[in-house]
A = this chain, B = another copy of it.
Amino acid sequence: MASFYGIGVGPGDSELLTIKAVNTIKKLDILYAPQAHKGGRSVAENIAAPYLPANLKIKRRHFPMINDWEKKIKSWQEIAEEIAKDVKNDNNVGFLTLGDPSVYSTFSYIAKMLAERIDIQTIAGISSFSQIAASLSVPLMLDEESLEIIPATADITQLEKAIDLNDNVVIMKIATRFAQVYKILEQRDLLSKTIVVENASMEKQKKQRLIDYSINDKLPYFSTALLKKGNKNVKSN
């Protein structure tokens, strides 16, 4: 029986795919690679490039990054239908996901649309926050500590509670609301305990404490902040 595989490729470095991801790619008949822009390159496909067999059929599909949910879901449904058809025609179909397919991914929506109709397998990947901690060689959490992961786009009150109630907080997509998050952390005197990693494990990776930014700075899309209240040794490099 053919299956549909969501495959995490990790945050950027091609070495961060798992053996299981590489072995799964080997048995595929068709691979879907998401594009953020029509005709643009697929970040996930570039990361997986060293492991893609030359004769693998790749279907690059455009996943619009828009706020119009109706339009977005319609375009996902079209792609989901195409995937269902491919699997029912006995093709093992893969779908590449940046980072971990379980963490804020479009794959989760496609999988939900198809869950009752075809067999679905998820191949875990290294998430951006895991790689950020690794690149800093600081723990995400220790002992009884908690970690909350929340996007900067969440409700502001919820964001404040996350920051107030947890030992460690990962703030995803910080670029989308940088000034507001900066202000919340500044009010709590936590700027020096927060480190921002831009483009984790990608070519232009940069690590810097939040206190070394200005409130009006513009950050790249792949920027994530890690607040560690207990850590007095956060260093820039």
Interface, chain A (partner B; CB < 8 A): 6, 8, 10, 13-20, 22-23, 100-105, 108-109, 111, 115, 120-127, 130-131, 133-135, 137-151, 153-155, 158, 161-162, 165-166, 233
Contact = CB atoms under 8 A, between A and B. Distances in A.
Given A15-B23, A134-B123, A166-B148, A142 B100 contact: no
Given A122-B137, A123-B134, A138-B102, A115 B233 contact: yes
A120 B137 contact: yes
Q: What copy number does this chain have within its complex?
A: 2
A72 to B, nearest CB: 11
Contacts of A100: 130, 134, 140
Contact of A131 (B105, B111, B124, B133): B124
A133 B120 CA distance: 13
